[in-house]
Amino acid sequence: MRTPVAHPSPPARRRRRRLVAAATLALAPAVAVPAQGPAPEDGGTRVRDPFCWRGRPLPRCGAFALFELSGHEPLGSTAVTVAPDPTAGRPFTRQVFERHLSWTLGAMRNVSARTAVGGAFVGAAAGEGHFVAVTGRARWWAGPNASVEAAAGPALVDVRVPIVVVGQRGYADARRPGVLGEARANVADLLALSARAVVVPNAGGRTQGAGYVGASLGSHAAVAGNVVLGALFGLLFYALGQGAS
């Protein structure tokens, strides 16, 4: 004879359901799926580049290249009195430094979200006052594109020093060590305005130097500028060759 099975009463079933629900709520935090970490910056669409050809602050760029084409006009320059041949007339005064075109090649590294440091080689061609320099450079980011910079370093500068030839005093070009300093305001590494100073402490027994203001093209704008400049010089040389033939 089968023994009848006793079923819990409705109140007992309700109590059992409450106990199961309470136990489930208590265990839920322990078995929950771990939360995801913070989403990548910009929803994962912007990845840090270890090296950029155009400067950007962290986290966009770890390091970046410097390539600039600049033109500078002197605001003031030391001058020398040149004594010409006696038959050419009276002596005249000329500036030691004139306007120049310069090229900058270097690199910088972002050391924080606001600061980058690096260095560059600078070469300048001018009517008077050619120079080459190696500069250390610091940049302070004012936003994703805008920045201000300071640069300074040793330079070799063409100056005019006094000489005596056949008993007459004159001047000759000579290369002397000096210092180049510069402050810049930069927009997107494409355009910059700058103030530049070149100082040569001992050139012919005195300090010579000049202060400049100028503008620069950077990155691919500088590359395009050099292509245009090279084409213009090519046309000029071709025209001179045709005129001489």
pLDDT in tens, the chain (245 residues): 555 555 555 566 666 666 555 554 454 444 444 444 444 344 444 547 999 999 999 999 999 999 999 999 999 999 887 766 555 666 777 888 999 999 999 999 999 999 999 999 999 999 888 999 999 999 999 999 999 999 999 999 999 887 766 666 667 788 999 999 999 999 999 999 999 999 999 877 889 999 999 999 998 888 888 888 778 878 877 777 777 66
191 neighbors 218 (Cβ within 8 angstroms): yes
Among the listed residues 226, 71, 80, the one whose alpha carbon sits nearest the alpha carbon of residue 158: 80
Residue 36 maps to a domain: no
Residue 31 maps to a domain: no
Count of beta carbons in the 10 Å neighbourhood of residue 67:
21
Supply the CATH number for residue 118's domain: 2.40.160
What is residue 80's predicted lDDT score, i.e. its pLDDT? 81
Residue 172 maps to a domain: yes
Residue 228 maps to a domain: yes
Domain count, the chain: 1
Phi, psi of 210 (to 5 degrees): -155, 155
What is residue 155's predicted lDDT score, i.e. its pLDDT? 98
What is residue 142's predicted lDDT score, i.e. its pLDDT? 95
Phi, psi of 127 (to 5 degrees): -60, -45
Residue 18 maps to a domain: no
Instruction: Write out the residue range of the structural domain in which residue 168 sits.
Output: 51-240
Separation of first and last alpha carbons in the chain: 133
Residue 85 maps to a domain: yes
Residue 95 maps to a domain: yes
DSSP H or E run through 226: helix 219-244
Q: What residue ranges in 96-219 does DSSP mark as E strands? A: 100-110, 115-126, 131-141, 146-165, 168-187, 191-203, 206-218
Residue 3 maps to a domain: no
* Cα(199)–Cα(183) distance, integer angstroms: 15
